[in-house]
């Protein structure tokens, strides 16, 4: 890096100095990329950061000392419970009240040396599906007096990196380290099909709001779209960097992709245009849209939690944590954000509007 | 799963998959607990030393065959157009069991592998073949040029401090290992008192003695390395040089120099600060403390501040080893002051030739040869003695003038420039008016004159160093808007024109009075008494007089400026070449400071 001054500014996450800048604010970090590849800094509209449903900032409410790197995190629909996945087990936390937190339950899913990589609640909140560095997914019954395993789904893949559950709770999708996307019938606990295409591990997955399309990102630098009814690949987007995270906007035609290269890209699902966002300085490990679709968060290996405006990525707020932020979730009512940290803890934020 | 981890060939997992391991995602240094296999893997990995650069390209490590024992061959992947300095997790972490570790790092996590235990190791950036891997967690700093420091230390190192600020010789140069290549760090230096005493040097016994208690504490100053913040990988790949750091005794200094008291003992310290702990890092506040801040110091770099050297052995050693002081080396005699200057000018011959490191046999380069440093006008200050600009006519006055009829133009187009750089001398010129003043002042007894000083230490070591990019991008490294070097040495004596740098957005180095960045070269006089930086303006050739006239005054200081377009020459603010510096100082050929040498300028300093 070439310094322009002898004592360079201490910037926060900053954009490469070679990018053009818009006066009055951070150097430009959001760019619109047109179909022909032209990149232009985005002039944010006036309602970028204000308006109904747009947060102003977030404040930390709880720290959940899981004790292992928290690779997976989810918050219940009631916002009462947070589930943190670390090594071997998922811990259940009651965050409904203030005060010091100890887990209210522990779900031992895997060998103690293997990380949980994803945990997803079924829409009714009564079951939790857990996947990680093992060939088996476990489905936990949370409604029982003490949580217990209801079922196990075993595949041939050595590990599951990401899970998604269909809105009707009938089907669950597992991204495997061998690149396959396994589709499980939850009621019958059988494999329905596999989507094959990724040539390397499938790292992230989301379902389009209509429940008809599946989007997956892979370590093979591609994002793929699959049709759930026809069982085939519909689209493929190639990138120059591995995909570590993605999310489909709940009610708009945007797909947010978090990359190993530190970029966040917001692809239009039907048009060849996108936004490229540069506020991370390292791999973008997780991202999640708010249920209203108007904003989303991304987390990075640079310890940052970034909140962005859909789709052009105006920065709403940033939070710097103490270590890589590997996972995140937003409560359905958009009031809480939970992050999982490399510092062996999870953090619950209250979103302030 | 454990059994799967060991030695089972991973047919399904690629390196990219390893990049996605938890260890990779959290960053190496956080893997303290996952290091069980490190040593074991280290040996295997050691065989697979790979080019670091390849490893670190965004996009991660290239695919490797799943077979065991694969060496890490990183295939650089094209980075996204505007992507940040991302590194693949694989670079650092060996996610899966069996993967090797990076020379600095982080624990190969034996597990985390999605069940497999691929041996393909992601390119270990710094594996040293055959050697056990060093403990990766902690940063380690190694002093470069320790031998020279030791020699000074044995005598009792002294460092000159001045109001305008003076660089150190030797300069602190270090190599750092043990950083997380993907983490961003600031590297900074401060200088702290060793004790609370004031000293004096007793000549007849050639010893330093305590002379009382220390003066009241000085304002804290920190020199943040200009490359900051940068990734661990960037830092580790180069020698980190603090050659531009300046020491001053001016407690009201506003140039960001490090403020010290004279005749006190100090210890330089190098700080490695993780970026997330760097919020409090500032040039005018003490270095922050905390878990992400580590300080390193070397006992042999302790020095006593002086305004003039006390121990002659130090003077001798400095002359001997400081390339900028080479002029004093003439036939073993130690000549200082005007006398030395006069003699040096006598050797000048007209020739336009840039000094390069190649000219200077055996001179160790100071500072970093990497382009980024060079772009900053860098620490490769090494001027040779060769370019004898003046013809044989001796000049009794120490005016920096070139001999008569030595006008030469060297117009270099950018392309030519680089070729010429090795052979051309770049010359500075001074405005007529200043030269007159100069003459007048230098005729005063006891005056020594100030070397032109520039903040940029450009050793005209290579073509790259001369092309200070103004644009600041890599692509511009070798091209600058004004890269042709046209200096005209007018036949009038003493007509040395000094072309002022035009202000621009790149400020080089430490000279904060300059607004501009300077494309500079140094002209090193035969005695390397001073260096000139001059711009490489293509237009200079045309009319030096114009340039002169547009300057208000002579800039004694060496080109901190680039001489750029004549039309753009800004008025030089008050640079007085000569002044009545009270100290008995020696000619300092290094560019040191602000262009505005105020009243105490005329001092030949030798550092």
Probe site for chain B from A15, A199, A242 (most B CB atoms < 10 A): A242
- The reply to whether B591 touches chain A by the CB within 8 Å rule is no
For residue A143, the distance in angstroms to the closest alpha carbon of chain B comes to: 30
For residue A74, the distance in angstroms to the closest alpha carbon of chain B comes to: 18
Residues B119-133: what's their mean pLDDT? 38
Residues B399-412: what's their mean pLDDT? 39
Angle at B331 between CA B325 and CA B333, to 5 degrees: 70
Give the per-residue pLDDT at B56: 34
Q: Say yes or no to pLDDT of A123 above 80.
A: yes
Q: For residue B331, what pLDDT band results from cuts at 50, 70 and 90?
A: low
> Mean of the per-residue pLDDT values for chain A?
89
Which of the residue ranges A43-57, A325-339, B347-361 would you say has the lowest mean pLDDT? B347-361
For residue B87, the distance in angstroms to the closest alpha carbon of chain A comes to: 7
| H helix and E strand count, chain B | 15, 17
Q: Say yes or no to pLDDT of B435 above 70.
A: no
Percent with pLDDT over 70 in chain B = 33
- A319 inside domain: yes
Q: Say yes or no to pLDDT of B85 above 80.
A: no
Give the per-residue pLDDT at A280: 93
CATH of the domain at A274: 2.130.10.10
Provide, as residue numbers in chain A, all residues whose Cβ is less than 8 Å from the Cβ of B16. Answer: 200-201, 219-220, 242
Which of B60, B114, B506 comes nearest A159 by C-beta?
B114
Give the per-residue pLDDT at B481: 38
Residues B525-536: what's their mean pLDDT? 39
- A201 inside domain: no
Q: Which of residues 433-462 of B touch A (CB under 8 A)?
A: none
Helix (H, G, I), strand (E, B) or coil at A148: strand
Q: Say yes or no to pLDDT of A343 above 70.
A: yes
Q: For residue B396, what pLDDT band results from cuts at 50, 70 and 90?
A: very low
- A283 inside domain: yes
Residues A179-197: what's their mean pLDDT? 93
Could A10 and B229 be called an inter-chain contact, meaning their C-beta atoms sit closer than 8 Å? yes
Give the per-residue pLDDT at B320: 85
> Mean of the per-residue pLDDT values for chain B?
56
> Measured between alpha carbons, how far is B91 from A179 in angstroms, rounded to an integer?
21
For residue A3, the distance in angstroms to the closest alpha carbon of chain B comes to: 5
- The reply to whether B14 touches chain A by the CB within 8 Å rule is yes
Residues B354-362: what's their mean pLDDT? 47
- The reply to whether A74 touches chain B by the CB within 8 Å rule is no
- A288 inside domain: yes
Q: Say yes or no to pLDDT of B512 above 90.
A: no
- How many distinct structural domains can be found in chain A? 1
Give the per-residue pLDDT at A234: 92
Give the per-residue pLDDT at B291: 84
Chain B, nearest residue to A135 by Cα? B115
Q: Say yes or no to pLDDT of B19 above 60.
A: yes
> Measured between alpha carbons, how far is B554 from B222 in angstroms, rounded to an integer?
32
DSSP string, B363-430: PPPPS--SHHHHHTT-S-----S----S-S---SS----PPTT--------HHHHHHHHTTBB---B-
- Specify the higher pLDDT residue, A336 or B454: A336
Q: Say yes or no to pLDDT of A320 above 50.
A: yes
Q: Which of residues 306-325 of A touch B (CB under 8 A)?
A: 320, 322-324
- Specify the higher pLDDT residue, A338 or B131: A338
User: Could you read off the pLDDT of A214-254 as tens digits, one per residue?
Assistant: 999 999 999 999 998 888 999 999 998 999 999 999 989 99
Q: Say yes or no to pLDDT of B131 above 70.
A: no
Cβ atoms A207, A248 nearer than 8 A = yes
Q: Say yes or no to pLDDT of B50 above 60.
A: no
Residues B191-209: what's their mean pLDDT? 90
User: Could you read off the pLDDT of B268-281 as tens digits, one per residue?
Assistant: 999 999 988 888 88
Residues A88-111: what's their mean pLDDT? 89
- A88 inside domain: no
- The reply to whether A178 touches chain B by the CB within 8 Å rule is yes
User: Could you read off the pLDDT of B212-259 as tens digits, one per residue?
Assistant: 998 888 888 999 998 888 888 889 888 899 989 999 999 998 888 999
Q: For residue B605, what pLDDT band results from cuts at 50, 70 and 90?
A: very low
Which of B86, B278, B372 comes nearest A1 by C-beta?
B372
- The reply to whether B186 touches chain A by the CB within 8 Å rule is yes
Give the per-residue pLDDT at B325: 78
For residue B326, the distance in angstroms to the closest alpha carbon of chain A comes to: 28
Residues B282-306: what's their mean pLDDT? 90
- Specify the higher pLDDT residue, B17 or B225: B225
Q: What is the CA radius of gyration of chain A?
A: 20
Q: In what order do the strands lie in the sheet with A190-195?
A: A160-165, A171-176, A181-185, A190-195
Q: Which of residues 485-514 of B touch A (CB under 8 A)?
A: 505-512
Q: For residue B171, what pLDDT band results from cuts at 50, 70 and 90?
A: very high
Q: Which of residues 281-300 of A touch B (CB under 8 A)?
A: 281-283, 285
Provide, as residue numbers in chain B, all residues whose Cβ is less than 8 Å from the Cβ of A39. Answer: 81-82
Give the per-residue pLDDT at B455: 39
A345 lies in which domain range? 239-353
- A247 inside domain: yes
* CA proximity to B239, closest of B146, B136, B356: B146
> Measured between alpha carbons, how far is B167 from B591 in angstroms, rounded to an integer?
9
- The reply to whether B216 touches chain A by the CB within 8 Å rule is no
Percentages of chain A per state (helix, strand, coil), in multiples of 5: 0, 50, 50
Give the per-residue pLDDT at B204: 86
Kindly give, in sequence order, each residue whose CB lies less than 8 Å from that of residue B436, ignoring residues fewer than 6 positions away.
Answer: none
Kindly give, in sequence order, each residue whose CB lies less than 8 Å from that of residue B10, ignoring residues fewer than 6 positions away.
Answer: B66, B96, B98, B113, B116, B117, B118, B119, B120
Q: Which of residues 504-563 of B touch A (CB under 8 A)?
A: 505-512, 517
Residues A187-202: what's their mean pLDDT? 93
Residues A178-192: what's their mean pLDDT? 93
Provide, as residue numbers in chain B, all residues whose Cβ is less than 8 Å from the Cβ of A133. Answer: 1, 111-115
A1-15, B128-142, B589-603 — most confident range: B128-142
Give the per-residue pLDDT at B137: 62
- The reply to whether A111 touches chain B by the CB within 8 Å rule is yes
Q: Say yes or no to pLDDT of A351 above 50.
A: yes
- The reply to whether B20 touches chain A by the CB within 8 Å rule is yes
Residues B360-377: what's their mean pLDDT? 40
Provide, as residue numbers in chain A, all residues whose Cβ is less than 8 Å from the Cβ of B227. Answer: 1-3
- A190 inside domain: no
Interface pTM, i.e. ipTM: 0.85
pTM here is 0.44
- The reply to whether A244 touches chain B by the CB within 8 Å rule is yes
Residues B180-201: what's their mean pLDDT? 92
* CA proximity to B71, closest of B92, B100, B91, B97: B100
Provide, as residue numbers in chain B, all residues whose Cβ is less than 8 Å from the Cβ of A31. Answer: 82
Which of B1, B2, B20 comes nearest A203 by C-beta?
B20
For residue B44, the distance in angstroms to the closest alpha carbon of chain A comes to: 23
Backbone angles phi, psi at B506, to 5 degrees: -95, 110
Q: Say yes or no to pLDDT of A326 above 80.
A: yes
Helix (H, G, I), strand (E, B) or coil at A202: strand
Residues B400-422: what's their mean pLDDT? 39
Chain A, nearest residue to B284 by Cα? A7
- The reply to whether B30 touches chain A by the CB within 8 Å rule is yes
Q: Say yes or no to pLDDT of A150 above 50.
A: yes
Residues B145-152: what's their mean pLDDT? 90
- The reply to whether B22 touches chain A by the CB within 8 Å rule is yes
Give the per-residue pLDDT at B337: 53
Give the per-residue pLDDT at B584: 40
> Measured between alpha carbons, how far is B533 from B429 in angstroms, rounded to an integer?
10
- Specify the higher pLDDT residue, B63 or A206: A206
Q: For residue A189, what pLDDT band results from cuts at 50, 70 and 90?
A: very high
> Measured between alpha carbons, how far is B565 from B406 in angstroms, rounded to an integer?
23
| H helix and E strand count, chain A | 0, 30
User: Could you read off the pLDDT of B253-264 as tens digits, one per residue?
Assistant: 888 899 999 999
- A292 inside domain: yes
Structure tokens at B139: 């940063």
């Amino acid at each position: 890096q070439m310094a322009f001054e002898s004592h360079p500014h201490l910037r926060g996450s900053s954009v490469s100095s070679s990018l053009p800048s818009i006066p009055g604010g951070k150097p430009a970090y959001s760019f619109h990329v047109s179909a022909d590849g032209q990149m232009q800094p985005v002039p944010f509209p006036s309602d970028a950061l204000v308006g109904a449903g747009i947060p102003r900032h977030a404040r930390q409410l709880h720290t959940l000392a899981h004790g292992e790197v928290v690779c997976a995190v989810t918050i219940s629909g009631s916002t009462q419970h947070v589930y943190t996945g670390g090594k071997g087990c998922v811990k259940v936390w009651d965050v409904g009240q203030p005060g010091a937190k100890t887990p209210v339950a522990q779900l031992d899913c895997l060998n103690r040396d293997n990380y949980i990589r994803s945990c997803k609640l079924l829409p009714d909140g009564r079951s939790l599906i857990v996947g990680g560095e093992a060939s088996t997914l476990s489905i936990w019954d949370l409604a029982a007096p003490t949580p217990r395993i209801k079922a196990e789904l075993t595949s041939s893949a050595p590990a599951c990196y990401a899970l998604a559950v269909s809105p009707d709770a009938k089907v669950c999708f597992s991204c495997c380290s061998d690149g396959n996307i396994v589709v499980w019938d939850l009621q019958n606990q059988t494999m329905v099909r596999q989507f094959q295409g990724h040539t390397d591990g499938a790292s992230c997955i989301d379902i389009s709001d209509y429940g008809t399309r599946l989007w997956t990102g892979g370590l093979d630098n591609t994002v793929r779209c699959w049709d759930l009814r026809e069982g085939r690949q519909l689209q493929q987007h190639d990138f120059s960097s591995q995909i570590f995270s993605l999310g489909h906007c709940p009610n708009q035609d945007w797909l947010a992709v978090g990359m190993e290269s530190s970029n966040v890209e917001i692809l239009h699902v039907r048009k060849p245009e996108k936004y490229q966002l540069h506020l991370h300085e390292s791999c973008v490990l997780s991202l999640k849209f708010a249920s209203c679709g108007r904003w989303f968060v991304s987390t990075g290996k640079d310890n940052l939690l970034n909140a962005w405006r859909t789709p052009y990525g105006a920065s709403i707020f940033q939070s710097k944590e103490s270590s890589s932020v590997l996972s995140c979730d937003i409560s359905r009512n958009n009031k809480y954000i939970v992050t999982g940290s490399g510092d062996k803890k999870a953090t619950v934020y209250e979103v302030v509007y | 799963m454990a059994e799967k981890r060991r030695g089972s060939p991973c047919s399904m997992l690629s390196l990219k998959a390893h990049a996605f391991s938890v260890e990779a995602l959290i960053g190496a240094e956080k893997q303290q607990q996952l290091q069980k296999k490190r040593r074991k893997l280290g040996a295997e990995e050691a065989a697979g030393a790979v080019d670091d650069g390849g490893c670190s390209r965004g996009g991660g490590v290239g695919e490797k065959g799943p077979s065991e024992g694969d060496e890490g061959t990183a295939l650089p992947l094209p980075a996204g157009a505007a992507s940040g300095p991302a590194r693949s997790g694989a670079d650092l972490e060996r996610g899966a069991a069996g993967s090797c570790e990076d020379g600095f790092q982080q624990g190969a996590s034996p597990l985390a592998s999605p069940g497999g235990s691929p041996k393909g190791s992601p390119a270990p950036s710094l594996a040293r073949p055959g050697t056990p891997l060093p403990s990766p967690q902690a940063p380690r700093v190694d002093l470069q040029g320790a031998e020279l420091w030791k020699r000074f230390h044995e005598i009792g190192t002294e460092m000159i401090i001045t109001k305008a600020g003076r660089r150190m010789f030797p300069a602190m140069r270090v190599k750092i290992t043990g950083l997380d290549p993907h983490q961003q760090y600031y590297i900074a230096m401060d200088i702290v008192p060793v004790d609370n005493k004031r000293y004096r040097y007793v000549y007849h016994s050639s010893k330093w003695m305590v002379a009382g208690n220390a003066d009241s504490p000085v304002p804290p100053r920190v020199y943040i390395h200009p490359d900051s913040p940068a990734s661990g990988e960037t830092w580790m790949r180069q020698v980190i040089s603090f050659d531009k750091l300046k020491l001053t005794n001016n407690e009201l200094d506003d140039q960001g120099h490090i403020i010290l008291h004279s005749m006190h003992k100090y210890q330089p310290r190098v700080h490695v600060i993780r970026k997330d702990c760097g919020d409090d890092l500032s040039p005018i506040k003490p270095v922050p403390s905390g878990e992400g801040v580590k300080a390193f110091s070397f006992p042999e770099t302790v020095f006593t501040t002086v305004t003039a050297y006390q121990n002659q052995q130090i003077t001798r050693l400095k002359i001997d080893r400081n390339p900028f002081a080479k002029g004093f080396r003439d036939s073993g005699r130690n000549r200082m002051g005007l006398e030395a200057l006069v003699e040096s000018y006598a050797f000048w011959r007209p020739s336009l030739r840039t000094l390069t490191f190649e000219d200077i046999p055996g001179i160790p380069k100071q500072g970093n040869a990497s382009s980024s440093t060079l772009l900053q006008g860098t620490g490769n200050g090494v001027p040779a003695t060769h370019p004898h600009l003046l013809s044989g006519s001796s000049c009794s006055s120490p005016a920096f003038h070139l001999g008569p009829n030595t006008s030469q133009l060297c117009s270099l187009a950018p392309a030519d420039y680089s070729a010429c750089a090795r052979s051309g001398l770049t010359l500075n010129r001074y405005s007529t008016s200043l030269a007159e003043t100069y003459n007048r002042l230098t005729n005063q007894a006891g005056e020594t004159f100030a070397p032109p000083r520039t903040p940029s230490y450009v050793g005209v070591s290579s073509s790259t160093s001369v092309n200070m990019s103004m644009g600041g991008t890599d692509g511009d490294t070798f091209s600058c808007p004004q890269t042709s070097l046209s200096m005209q040495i007018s036949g009038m004596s003493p007509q040395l024109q000094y072309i002022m740098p035009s202000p621009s957005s790149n400020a080089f180095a430490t000279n904060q009075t300059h607004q501009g960045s300077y494309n500079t070269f140094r002209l090193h006089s035969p005695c390397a008494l001073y260096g000139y930086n001059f711009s490489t303006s293509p237009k200079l050739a045309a009319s030096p007089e114009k340039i002169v006239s547009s300057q208000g005054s002579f800039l004694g200081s060496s080109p901190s400026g680039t001489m750029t377009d004549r039309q753009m020459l800004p008025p030089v603010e008050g640079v007085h070449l000569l002044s009545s510096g009270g100290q008995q100082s020696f000619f300092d050929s290094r560019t040191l400071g602000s262009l505005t040498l105020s009243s105490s300028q005329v001092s030949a300093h030798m550092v």
